Amino acid sequence: MKELLEAVRDRRLGIDEGARRMAELSVANPAFEALGHAHVDHQREARCGESEVIYAAGKTARQVVEIARSIVARSPRLLVTRVDPATAAEVLAAIPGATHHERARCVSWSSPDAPQGRGDVVVACAGTSDLPVAEECLLAARHGGAAVELVADVGVAGLHRLMARLERLRRAEVLVVVAGMEGALPSVVGGLVACPVIAVPTSVGYGASFEGLAALLGMLNSCAGGVVVVNIDNGYGAGCAAARIARTVHGHAVREEAR
């Protein structure tokens, strides 16, 4: 599609011929592939910047494998989230080169010629117990085409740990801050940096944390500006949003340089 548009722009192809070929392209490459149990959205990457991600919970191993094979046939990256060990083993057997990230409950794959990550995303988490969600976030951001780094165990119980990494956090284009318990870390970080902060509450904590509800409400009530919040344990959603912000920043920079 991009090649067709460039040909019309450069007057190597007439508008009518370009429209005809565009119609042929849409027929040859439908918006989705029907597998019976799923409709795989092959045009999502063109629309949104990242290919469809498989949410494995509630799916059989066979269904996950069929969707994964469909995606890798047309996309340079694959991400499967919330996958159990048995299903992960089936995916690894079907997709050579795939990696099982046990703690994050994800499987990822990328082709050798997949584009390098762009921008600068940092995922910071309060404690080691938050790492499953933080790593899911990292993988989602990487799947979305972002260059991403993890900064772990910098919670408010020892602020010196956070301050020791502050210079790195301030260089990021977008920060994802993952925390459970009372969820205070995003507010602290939001008052120290100039970039957007995406807060992720986790279901980590004792009884009064109400499986992440306390952290969610604390983050929603943050007094720091520039902090936005996703749902409890939604590392994927935060990573996807961070990648889109990074792509937007990078795209603006490239256009300005071209001028």
* Nearest alpha carbon to residue 97 among 116, 112, 113: 112
Cα separation, 219 vs 119, in Å, equals: 25
Q: What is the pLDDT at residue 155? A: 94
Domain assignment present for 259: no
Domain assignment present for 42: yes
Q: Do 24 and 36 belong together in one domain? A: no
Half-sphere exposure for 46 (CA within 13 Å, toward CB): 11
pLDDT at 197 over 60: yes
* CATH number of the domain bearing residue 248: 3.40.50.1970
Q: Do 147 and 202 belong together in one domain? A: yes
Q: Do 157 and 216 belong together in one domain? A: yes
List the strands of the sheet with 54-55, edge to edge: 54-55, 77-81, 106-110, 99-101
Encode pLDDT of 116-158 as tens digits: 888 899 999 999 999 999 999 999 999 999 999 999 999 999 9
Q: Do 77 and 198 belong together in one domain? A: no
Q: Do 134 and 98 belong together in one domain? A: no
Q: Do 97 and 147 belong together in one domain? A: no
Q: What is the pLDDT at residue 29? A: 59
pLDDT at 166 over 70: yes
Which helix or strand (DSSP H or E) is residue 19 part of?
A: helix 15-28
Helix 61-72, helix 85-94: angle, nearest 10: 40
Average of per-residue pLDDT values in the chain:
90
Q: Do 4 and 41 belong together in one domain? A: no
Domain assignment present for 170: yes
Q: In which domain, by residue range, is 186 found?
A: 118-252
Q: Do 155 and 88 belong together in one domain? A: no
Task: Tokens for 170, please give them.
Answer: 């301030």
**Domain boundary pick from 92, 110, 128:** 110
Q: Do 94 and 201 belong together in one domain? A: no
pLDDT at 219 over 60: yes
Where does residue 37 rank: exposed (0-12), middle (13-18), buried (19+ CB within 10 A)? exposed
Task: Tokens for 163, please give them.
Answer: 């301050």
Domain assignment present for 258: no
Domain assignment present for 77: yes
Helix and strand numbers (H, E) in the chain are 11, 11
Domain assignment present for 48: yes
Q: Do 248 and 134 belong together in one domain? A: yes
* pTM of structure: 0.84
Q: Do 106 and 82 belong together in one domain? A: yes
Domain assignment present for 59: yes
**Domain boundary pick from 110, 140, 168:** 110
pLDDT at 254 over 50: no
Q: Which residue has the tokens 């993890």?
A: 150
Q: Do 9 and 68 belong together in one domain? A: no
Determine contact, residues 229/219, Cβ cutoff 8 Å.
Answer: yes
Cα separation, 218 vs 156, in Å, equals: 14
Domain assignment present for 198: yes
pLDDT band at 13 (very low <50, low <70, confident <90, very high): confident
- Count of domains for the chain: 3
